[in-house]
Amino acid sequence: MTEDTKKATAESAETTAATAGAEATASSEAAATAESKATGGAETAATAVLSESSKDECECTKKCEGCPSAGHDDDDVPPMTRSDFTRTLFALVALTWGGLTSFPIFMYLNPPASDQEEHSKVTSIEVCKVADLPPGTGKNFRFGSFPAILICTEDKQLHAFKAICTHLGCTVQFRADKQNVYCACHGGEYDAATGKNIAGPPPKPLTALKAEVKDGKIIVSLA
């Protein structure tokens, strides 16, 4: 091989190497550019997602204005309105008034005891002195296990009865203004001297007891 041929061959090899190096550099630059574009695209996509999320959050916040916020219990009781308070107050007043008006009636209720209990406990009792029961007056007292009533009529006669209304068992009282025995539960009336039922729902007379005077004292016993 001549000197000129060797020189030409060397120059050709250098040219080929330079071309290959240039192509490699260009390829690296292209790859870097592609990577940069990919990174930028990912960042753009992430930014878009965050922006959309923020937008949705804002829309939700706007829609939920006036709704119970976080930390509030759905079971919270709403405050009492003025009308609710008025109704509640009226109901309490009505219950209180009903209790007060019914008390005078309930105080007369006294279920009668059986005859066996009555006879086994008391057979007679000293009620009061004659001077303590003026004519035209009456006196309620306990005869053993049941209520009783002693009456001195205007003609100074003594009469005693079980003070148990024959209608529903309420306790009866002597009524001085009408000179009779009266049941406040349902308006029953009895004759003060005989105990006979004369008005209202009682179906039969009062049960009579025996009243007599001993040593200036009034003694009542079972008839």
Average pLDDT over residues 44-59: 50
Domain 115-222 -> CATH class: mainly beta
pLDDT digits (tens, 9 = 90+) for 128-152: 999 999 999 999 999 999 999 999 9
Residue-range domain boundaries for the chain: 115-222
- The residue count for the chain: 223
Collapsed DSSP state (helix, strand, coil) of residue 199: strand
Write out the two tokens for 167. 């209608």
Q: In which band, very low, low, confident or very high, does the pLDDT at 15 lie, cut at 50, 70 and 90?
A: low
Buried/exposed 15-43: b ≥16 CB within 10 Å, e otherwise: eeeeeeeeeeeeeeeeeeeeeeeeeeeee
Give residue-wise pLDDT tens across range 87-124: 788 788 777 766 655 555 555 555 555 555 545 578 99
pLDDT at 182 over 70: yes
Give the integer Cα–Cα distance in Å for 141 and 147: 6
The mean per-residue pLDDT over the stretch 188-209 comes to: 97
